[in-house]
């Protein structure tokens, strides 16, 4: 259950991680990544960072690996930017909603195409 406090912390972490990834990380494994959300546990010990990555499965896995390897650095930079007594452990995971939405769009496009052929 999210509280307004965990939501605020999650949003702040999301913004800062996006900035760090795009401006400070130099890991060549990390491709074009978007932080889609951050869920923070009520005790603020763990932050699950949802990501979306453009590319094939291999590129996505390399990006995830690069982010996991960089989590200590990201956490260190975050702890300097966001003042908290204990900074949460970062866990990067793929956001399945983007790919699901793309699959739904493809199905809808096919159905529309079939409807157009029926009308002709």
Q: How far apart are CA 40 and CA 26, in angstroms?
A: 26
- Single pTM value for the model: 0.79
Contacts of residue 71, defined as CB under 8 A and 6 or more positions apart, other chains included, come to: 89, 90, 92
Q: Does domain 4-119 have CATH number 3.55.50.30?
A: no
List, for residues 20-78, the tens digit of each pLDDT value.
Answer: 999 999 899 998 899 999 999 999 899 999 999 888 889 999 999 999 999 999 999 99
Domain boundaries, the chain: 4-119
What is the rounded radius of gyration, in angstroms, for the C-alpha atoms of the chain? 18
């Amino acid at each position: 259950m999210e509280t307004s406090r965990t939501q605020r912390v999650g949003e702040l972490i999301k913004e800062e991680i996006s900035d760090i990834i795009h401006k400070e990380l130099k890991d060549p494994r990390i491709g074009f990544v978007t932080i889609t959300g951050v869920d923070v546990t009520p005790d603020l010990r763990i932050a699950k960072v949802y990501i979306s990555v453009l590319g094939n499965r291999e590129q996505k896995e390399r990006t995830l690996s690069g982010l996991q390897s960089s989590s200590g650095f990201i956490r260190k930079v975050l702890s300097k930017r966001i003042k908290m007594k204990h900074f949460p452990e970062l866990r990067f995971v793929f956001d399945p909603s983007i790919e699901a939405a793309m699959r739904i769009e493809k199905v809808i496009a096919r159905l529309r195409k079939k409807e157009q052929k029926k009308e002709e």
